[in-house]
Chain A
Amino acid sequence: MLDLTPKTLADRKALRINPCKTCQPVGALYAALGVHRCMPHSHGSQGCVSYHRTFLTRHFKEPAIAASSSFTEGASVFGGGANLRAAVKNIFDVYDPDIIAVHTTCLSETIGDDLNAYILEMDIPDDKLVVHANTPSYVGSHVTGYANMVAGFIRYLADPRAPKGDRIAVFPGFVNPGDIRELKHLLARMGKDFIMFPDQCGVMDAPMKGVYEMYPDGGTPIDDVRALGGCRHVYALGHAASEEPADVLDKKCRVPNTVLPLPVGVAATDAFVMAVAAGGAVPEDIEDERGRLLDLMLDVNPHLHERKLAIFGDPDTVAGLTAFALELGMHPKFVITGTPGEAFVHRTEDILAGYGVGDCTVKAASDLFELHQMVKNHPVDLLVGSSYGKQIAKAEDIPFVRLGFPILDRYAHSYMPMVGYRGAMRIVELLAGAIMDRYDRDCADEDLEAVM
C-alpha cells in the first residue's frame, strides 16, 4: 500500500500524510469516561462523537458512550447555546448520569461559543453537575484534549477547602485500564491511601455480566475529584497528559505535585516508586518484581542489544518506550510523535544523551509518511507504535510491536500493562518475541533450533 512513498525527503508545508495524532475531543472523551457515572458530551456536530466512540470502541473493544449537541445550520450561525441546554436536559432526563462533561469541538470553538456562560445560565438539577473543557481540534492533539478535560474537572470540582489529609493523588496519564490497574497494584503494595484520577478501570474494561450498564462500576467517584483539593501531594505521570492538570490543581488548591515520566522501564518505575515512597521503605515484593525484571533483561540481552528501532506514538508513551529501549541496550534511531511541542523533543534528547546516543532523530509534529521515509533511508530492526505502523512494517519488512494508542487490529492490549516492573516484563516479551520470530522466519533450516 505504501509503495508510493518516495525515498527522497522533500519539504512539506501544507500536506499532512498519515497522521500520528488525532484531535483533542477524543482524548477529552476518554478522560471523561474515567469519572464514575459521567456522560461525556461533545459540543459540536453529531459526526464527531460518532467517530470518537467508534475510535475508542475499536481500541478498547468496549462500548464508549457520549452524547452530542448535534449542531444544525442554525446553531452554526447563532451559536450552540440552545442545543447545549436541550442536550443537558435530555441527558439528565433519559440517561441519568451524575455529571456531564462537555468538551468543545473545532466548530463550537470557531463560532466562539462561551461554555462558561452557557453552563452558568443553565438549569441544572440540584444533585447533578455539568463541567466543561475547551478542546479546539486545531490545537495540539488527542493528548492535549485529555489533559484539558482532566484540568477541566479540577477547575470545576476540586475543592480548595477539602480537609487536608495524608491521601495522595495519582494522575495516570493517557494509558490503558491495564496500566492503571498496575499502578494501583504498586500503590496498594506500598500501603498508600490514594485517589486515582481519572480512572477508566471498570469502565473501559468492564466485565461481561450479561447486562449492559451505561455507567459500569468504575471511574473516579465525584467526591474523590472534589477531595483532590485536600491531597497531600499529586504524582502526575506523563508530561503531555498530566502536567497541565497538576498545575491547575496547584494553582487552585495549593496541592504540590511531582511530574514524572510515565513509569515505563526500570528507571522511570523506580522514580515513581521512590517518589511515592517519599523516603519510606519500599516493600520487599516490589523489590522482587524489580529484581525479576532485571533478571529477564539480562536473559534477553543477547537478542536485543544494539538492535536499532523506530518508535512512534503519543509523546509520553514514546518517551517512556525510548527510555526503556535504551535500558535494554537497544538503539533508538527514530522517535517521533504527531503531537506538536518541542518540550517532548528536548526531554527525549536528554534521555538519549544519558546513554550517549547522539544519532537518533527525534521529532514532534511529525507524521507516519515522514517516519516511513526515515526508515526507508536508514533501515531499523524493529518498529514500535500503534496499529497505523503496520503498513510501514509490511512495506519495509520490519518486525513490528504494537504498543500505544490506538491498537485497532489486535486484542487484549487494553487489559495488559506497559507501566511498572511487570509492564516492562510484558514489553520485553513483545520486543524479544518479535525479533526472535523474525529470526526463526528468515533463518536457514539448519539454523532453526528449539533452544535460542
Chain B
Amino acid sequence: MYAQILEERRQSIGTGGDVGRTRSIRCETASVSGAVSQRACVYCGARVVLNPITDAFHLVHGPIGCASYTWDIRGSLSSGSELYRNSFSTDLQERDVIFGGAEKLARAIDEAVERYRPPLIFVYCTCIVGVIGDDVDAVCRSAEARHGVRVIPVKAPGFSGSKSTGYRLACEALMKLLEGHEWDGEREGVNILGDYNLAGEMWIIVGYMRRLGIPVAATFTGDASFERLLRAPRARLNVVQCAGSMMYLANLMEETFGIPWVKASFFGLEDTSTALRQVADLVGDDEIRRRAREFTEERSRETAKLVGPYHGRLAGKRAAIFVGGGFKAISLVRQFREMGMETVLVGTQTGKADEYEVLGRLVGPDTVILDDANPAELERFLVERGADILVGGVKERPLAYKLGIAFCDHNHERKHALAGYEGVENFTREVASSILSPVWRHARG
C-alpha cells in the first residue's frame, strides 16, 4: 500500500498532461513541516555555490555540524589551491551561545590568516548566529582592515528560506567581491556561470571554448580563484549553465557591468551542440562560427558512434529524474530521449514555475512532474510508472536499489564528468552499467 499524498502536497504534483496547460506546479515554497523532504537549506545553497572557489578560506561560524557535513563533499576539482577542501569552523560551544561568538570569530579569522594567508575569506553564519546577536558584519569589516584581505560575510541561517535563497546569498557575496573591479577596456570572451567542475566538467567546457577560439575570463565557480574571478567584468557574455543557482548573478552582472547572458546546457548531445553554436553566434566572428559548426558536427558524429552500441540495449527503458534544479532536469529529459528512453517521472528540489512549464510541454501526458518530493512519493510514482532507472543524488540511491531500480548519480557523488560530449559517453555508460547489472537477474524473481 502506498503512503498517502499529503493534502498540502497535491499542488506540487502534476503530470505532463496538465502542467503548463491547465495548471502549474506549486514550487519555491518552504517544505511542509513533517515532510521527509529531500531538500537542503539556505546555508547549503550558499556553500555549494561558493565552495569551489579554491583559494578561499571557507569559515563556518556556528556549531560544528554544518562544517562537518560540508567537508570536502562536492567533488569540485581544482587546478590550483586545495584550501577549499578543508573544513574550518568556529565550533561554537555552550559558553559562546550564552556570551556571544563574535570574539571567537574574530580570533578564528586571525588564526586562519596566520596559518594560511588566504586572499579571501567567506564567513558563513549558520542558524544560531543571528539569534545570539553576533555582529558579524562588524567583525568582518574590522578583520578586513586588520589583515588587508577580503572577508565577506554570508548570512545564511537555515530557516531563512530555501536552498535557492542560499544561491542568491552566494551570488550577492560574489557581487560584493567584484565591486570596484569594473572594466572600461575592450571586452573579450565569456564567463561561465553555474558549473562547479564536478569531475572536471568546467575543464571540459573551457576546453571547448578554447577550441573554438573564445577566451574564458572567469568561471563561476568551478576551479575559480580569487584573482581569476576579478577578471569577470571584462567578459562580453555570461554563459549560464546551472540556471537555478546563477541566474541571479547573471542578472546582477548585466545591471552592474552591462554583460548580457545566455542560458546554455552542456548535458546531452543536442544541448551541448546548441549551446556551443549559440555562444559562437553571440560572441564570435565568422571564423569562430564556422569552427563551432564543424566542431559540434564532428564531435556529435563521433559521440553518436561511441554510444550507438548501448542505445539498442537501452531503447524503450523508462527513466525517472529527481535532481536539484529545473534546467538540468529539462536537459536530462532530452538526453534520455536521445538515448531512446522515455522519462516517466521528473522532479526537482528547487525548480521554478517556468521550468516546470517547459517540462510539462516536453514530457508525455502520463509523466509525473513533482516539486520537493519525499521518499514515499518517489517510491509510489517510481513503481506506478514502472521506472527502470532513477537519476538523482545520494539520498535517492538506496531508495532506488531497494525497489530494484537502477540508479545514476547526477549530483555531488559523480566521479565521471557528465557534461559535454565526454559526458554523453560517460552518462550512457553509467546508465547502461546500472540497468544492465547482472545483479538484477538474481534480484528479480
| Residue positions of A touching B, CB distance < 8 A | 1-4, 6, 10, 12-19, 21-23, 25-26, 39, 41, 44-55, 57-58, 61-73, 75-76, 83-84, 86-91, 93-96, 105-107, 110-111, 136-139, 141, 206, 208-214, 338, 369, 388
The interface on chain B, measured as residues whose beta carbon lies within 8 A of the other chain's beta carbons, has a size of 79
Least CB distance, B316 to chain A, in whole angstroms: 21
Provide the residues of chain A in CB contact with B375, threshold 8 Å.
Answer: 63, 65, 212, 214
- Indicate if the CB atoms of A96 and B3 lie closer than 8 Å: yes
Contacts A57-B397, A94-B6 given; indicate if A17 touches B62 (C-beta within 8 A).
no
Q: Inside 8 A of A23's CB, which chain B residues have their CB?
A: 63-66, 68
| B71 sits at the interface (CB 8 A) | yes
Cβ–Cβ < 8 Å partners of A88 in chain B: 34
User: Is A45 a contact partner of B41 (Cβ separation < 8 A)?
Assistant: yes
B62: nearest chain-A partner, CB-CB: A106
B93 touches A17 (CB 8 A): no
CB distance from B141 to the nearest CB of A (A): 18
Indicate which residue in A65, A139, A209 contacts B36 across the interface (CB closer than 8 Å): A65
In contact, A44 and B4 (Cβ under 8 angstroms):
no
> By the criterion CB–CB under 8 Å, are A107 and B127 in contact?
yes
Closest 5 CB pairs of A and B: A47-B41, A45-B158, A23-B65, A90-B34, A87-B34
B33 and A48 contact, CB distance less than 8 A: no
Q: Quick check: B90 and A106 within 8 Å, CB to CB?
A: no
Q: Which of B109-117, B290-298, B300-308 contacts A (4 or more CB under 8 A)?
A: B109-117
Do A110 and B132 contact each other (CB < 8 Å), given the known contacts A16-B90, A68-B35? yes
CB distance from A20 to the nearest CB of B (A): 9
How many residue pairs link A and B with beta carbons under 8 A? The number is: 252
Interface residues of B in 40-67 (CB under 8 A from A): 40-44, 59, 62-67
Contacts of A53 in B (CB 8 A): 395
Q: Among A19, A55, A76, which residue has its beta carbon within 8 angstroms of that of B67?
A: A19
Given A54-B395, A208-B402, A212-B379, answer yes or no on A17-B97 (Cβ-Cβ < 8 Å): no
- Could you tell me if B44 and A50 are in contact, using CB atoms closer than 8 angstroms? yes
Contact assessment for B158 and A107 in the assembled complex, using a CB-CB cutoff below 8 Å? yes
Contact mask for chain B residues 113-154; partner A; CB cutoff 8 A; 1 contact, 0 none = 011100000000011100110000000000000000000000
Chain A's nearest CB lies how many Å from the CB of B445? 8
A275–B39 Cα gap in the complex (Å)? 46
Decide yes or no whether B403 CB sits under 8 A from chain A: yes
Q: Report the bound CA distance from A67 to B32 in whole Å.
A: 10
* B contacts, CB < 8 Å to A: 3-6, 30-44, 59, 62-71, 82-83, 85-94, 96-97, 104-105, 107-108, 110-112, 114-116, 126-128, 131-132, 157-160, 163, 375-376, 379, 394-395, 397-399, 401-404, 443-445
Are B128 and A63 interface neighbours, CB within 8 A?
Answer: no
* A110 B69 Cβ-Cβ under 8 A: no
Measured CA separation A6–B126 after assembly (Å): 29
A47 touches B34 (CB 8 A): no
B402: nearest chain-A partner, CB-CB: A212
Contact of B394 among A16, A58, A107 (CB under 8 A): A58
Name the A residues within 8 Å of B159 (CB-CB): 44-45, 71-73, 75-76, 107
With A68-B37, A93-B4 as known contacts, state yes or no: A44 contacts B86, CB within 8 Å.
no
Instruction: Report yes or no: B127 in contact with A106, Cβ–Cβ below 8 A.
Output: yes
Instruction: State the Cβ distance, A363 to closest chain B Cβ, in Å.
Output: 15
Q: Taking A51-B65, A106-B62 as contacts, is the C-beta distance between A68 and B86 under 8 angstroms?
A: no
Q: Which B residues touch A75, using CB under 8 A?
A: 159
Q: Which of A17, A25, A39 has the most CB of B within 10 A?
A: A17
> What are 10 A-B pairs at a CB distance below 8 A?
A16-B91, A18-B86, A45-B159, A46-B39, A47-B39, A67-B36, A69-B34, A107-B128, A110-B132, A139-B93
